[in-house]
Amino acid sequence: MATLLQINASIHNGKGESSQLASRFVEAYRQLHPDTAVIVRELAAGEPVPHLDAERFAALIAKPEHRTEAQREVVAWSDALIDELRRAEVIVLGLPMYNFGVPTQLKNWIDAISRAQVTFRYTAEGPEGLLKGKKVYVALTRGGQYRNTPADTQVPYLRTIFAFLGMTDVQFVYAEGLAMGPEALQNALASAHAQIEELAAA
């Protein structure tokens, strides 16, 4: 049985436009792959991933035999998130644009799962990602039009961090202009829905 991990980065959780697009992709994918198990991670709900600070960083890099109880709890948090990633063959990320960047909730998650010798390692030839063989789909929602412009910091960042961790098969669904009036909103969502149907069937 295949496993799909849905990650919602919106501060509105499942109600955000990006989360709804991610859910729409998951539904379309499951129609074609009904035996797929789905894990949903709401980054802004329940128990959000804490910010990376000096204490948490020290816990993540400490040798296991030297960790304190508090440090072991920090590592357990990270291990649980990484385990979700390892189990998933498909990752679907719902991602809004906030102030030209990614939500802090997503950055916290990335900091928690980016661990040397666990999800990446350095070799004589350079860094090697250890989370290989996965398909990643990102549903992007933006109030304005930023695709293929210098203002789009999200796509280059995500391509870089995912590739660093070993995930190079990354596809993006764009829903832009959502704040540019009712017609633009309707057209953007219709376009995104068409992109989702096409990618889910690929």
Token pair listed for 148: 């293929």
What's the confidence (pLDDT) of residue 38?
97
Span 37-72, pLDDT tens digits:
999 999 998 788 999 999 999 999 999 999 999 999
Burial of 142 (0-12, 13-18, 19+ CB in 10 A): buried
CA angle 20, 21, 27 (to 5 degrees): 90
Question: Which residues, other chains included, contact 12 with Cβ-Cβ below 8 Å and sequence gap of 6+?
Answer: 19, 44
Average pLDDT over all residues of the chain: 95
Task: Return the SS3 of 193.
Answer: helix
Mean pLDDT of the 80-101 span: 97
Q: What is the pTM of this model?
A: 0.94
What's the confidence (pLDDT) of residue 173?
97
What's the confidence (pLDDT) of residue 88?
97
Residue 1 pLDDT more than 80? Answer: no
CATH number for domain 3-201, candidates 2.30.30.90, 3.40.50.360, 3.30.565.10, 3.40.50.300: 3.40.50.360
Token pair listed for 158: 């995500």
